[in-house]
Structure 1
Amino acid sequence: MNSGIPAFANVEQLRKRAKDLLRASRSGDAAALARITAHRRQDRPQPLLSDAQLTLAREYGFPSWAQLRSYVERLAEHGPGLEHAYRDDPGYYEERADGLLASAEDGTPSAVAAFDRARAPVDRNGARLVLARQHGFRSWAGLRGHVRGLIAGGEPFARAYRAVEAQDVAGLGALVGRFPELVHARGTNGNDLLGMATATCDERLVQVLLDRGADPARANAHDWTALHQTAYSGQPHLARLLLATGAPIDVSARGDGGTPLVIALFWGHTEVAELLATAGVVPANLRAAAGLGRLDLLGELLAPDGTPTREAGAHRGFYRPHSGFPAWRPSDEPKEIRNEALTWAARNGRVEAVELLVRHGADVDADVYRGTALTWAAACGQALAAQGLLALGADPNRRGTFGGPGHGEGVTALHLAAQHGSVGVIEVLLRAGADPSIRDNLHGGDAASWAEEFGQQAARELLNT
């Protein structure tokens, strides 16, 4: 049995291996003959070179010599920068191209550089061309053809991805043991196996890859690291593991200031955010201070009349965790900086920070970007924050936006509380006069229908009472 494909192997090296195997089998080497016999056509009187080549291909996990040769030729031509396809759904790559385009439009340096290297226009066709070339193909059609045969193709990275998705710890360990280069290889959009394993929230998979030398500081095409993914998923146990292995806290993804801390705060993952903050509050701007409930920092970042300092509005280039949210451009307008910070305080349940920001001029009903403070409190299940906002004058029936363009238009906080099954928030809103009959503008649904759509039985029953 062969070990892994040598790093920077070429077809001539593989042909030599096949010839050596054939020569050994013909000279009476029983082990070599047994290897070839397991794969060759039995109607031939003696093994041929094609039998030895097929044997090598099958032992490496490829169904044919031609597929092994094609894989090795791409590796040799593009080197360690080659991105490996791992999903067999062509639509997945269309979405990745759109996401790469969105990151370039947001100014993410690595995404911009990818378009520059390919000399491609920053548009949808250009993004598809960039993606194809990153995978070692000259055209989008070439990549699509490759993807259609991916499952049967036997490529090691795709097999490792399937092991990760299946949470097959032993299978992943065997693959990276045989193909050590896999821990350093990149998939579509620069995603590596460590980032994928982190997305499963399975600490065992992450540990296997770290033990094999995976780099926790490595980022994908959006400058997204494994620690960003952990923050996005709200997994404190993985955050501790990654921090202990040297994962950086100051890398910005999807725009300036998009650090792991900010990703955690965006989604209201307070436990992870507080853990990350022990390693450093990066960036120390107004929305981060508000999300952490750091009244001391808020006092430093706001003048008594509510005017934000320069640092308060700095590093706000990040505003969305993925391209499902619409494009926006944060400004340096003081009112916007205060109002945005209010939503971050609300989604993280920081009642005192909410009160401080309102005293300094934040508007309780402002919808700066995809959600009012009350709507975010409802979506994140923050009943005390919702109660505090209502006491400060927030309108329980305020219509606004939320999430992506196909998610929330003309929605109220009650819709989002219903979607997420936040019974405590629903009770707070109803006591404050929230109208459960209001229908959103996109789907025409009231709060009870949103609860039903998302399988929130207790919320639906409460709203129908």
Structure 2
Amino acid sequence: MASTLPDNPSLSYLHDEARALQRSVSAVDPRGVEVVRQHHPTPDLALAEAPEKFALHDARLTVARGYGFSSWPALVHYLEIADDLSVDPSRVDEDSLADVDRFCALSVLRYTDTDAPPRWTAAAGMLAVEPGLVDRHVWAAAAAADPAALERHLAGHRELSTSAGGPFGWVPLMYLCYSRIDTGRTQGQVIAAATLLLQAGADPDAGYLWRGMSTPFTVLTGVFGEGEQGPRRQPRHPFARGLATLLLDWGAHPADQQTLYNRMFRPDDSHLELLFDYGLADAGPSPWELVLDEAIPTREQMWRVQVAWAAEHGFARRLALLARHGVDVTGVELVARTFPEDPNARDEHGATALHHAAWDGELGLIQKLLAAGADPSVVDSRFGSTPQGWAEYAYQGEAAELLRLATAGRSG
């Protein structure tokens, strides 16, 4: 079972949670008792002497099972691993960084809500003003995907290819694969830069645990990009296919779970097609699966998420692709993507079809919805924003302008 721990989990926090559960059961709080009955493997035995006695070890076991672990020791073991591998990019104070580290921080996807094109433009501007940034350390040279600078850094110092550093404590290949700055380099130059690092010993499965989450963000994850913030704020690498192919040729494991999650939101299947070509369907355990053990989702859980999302969002082509490669797609019903009868109908968060089309930048659908009477001035209840606001946040400039004109037309 996969871990469901909160961001940046700590042992002290979980100790406190177990003691709070112990006190709750001792106080005959029905909520605490229900938690034990829901998660403890033998609740009747654990609660046999409650409320007079409810053992701390039973409280700890309940907490561990609630977070997806088989036992308290298994949870503690994961936290020990995560302590070494976890990074929270949002905790880095970029204003206090030296210029070269600020350049690296601005260059890359951090997978926070601050990811956006202006950051990468600012990084490119820093490099234009001071080209020598790439010579100040290997992580800056990697973020810039500068093969000449990397060759200078690695000459006689191949160990730098596996050295963690820069603002996030990443190895150089991570900065290269997560970088989104436009330096004008060709695909050949970027591939050459990555190849230099791999030839010097860089790990094609390198990665980190984002805020302690148990699906690792690997170099492949960075290359394939995308995610919950949308394809403009968290775009795939401009040379994603070539760079991913290089990493897979060098042995990157195709069962990259965070990649599959980040890329599942849109109907494009190019990532799956490439990963299946490299053995995703029947690949053995990945290095990360071996290290993280029960904390990481099982393959069955991984595929269940993919199948459910594809079915719920009408991705028939993806379901067929998964089925061709032996993934069980039975038991789900494909929800056809249809034009809404009421263009102003709201979902559970008060958003309309126009909000969602704006987020995705679907210009044709936006025009059809407007023609059918969709109100461009409607505000959702979660963010308090119009469809135009959604488009602007998602950096869908064409959609934002289309909606701005529609709103102005209504008010005029």
How high is the TM-score relative to the length of structure 2? 0.48
How high is the TM-score relative to the length of structure 1? 0.44
Q: Which has the larger radius of gyration?
A: 1
Larger RCO, structures 1/2 (Cα 8 Å, 6+ apart): 2
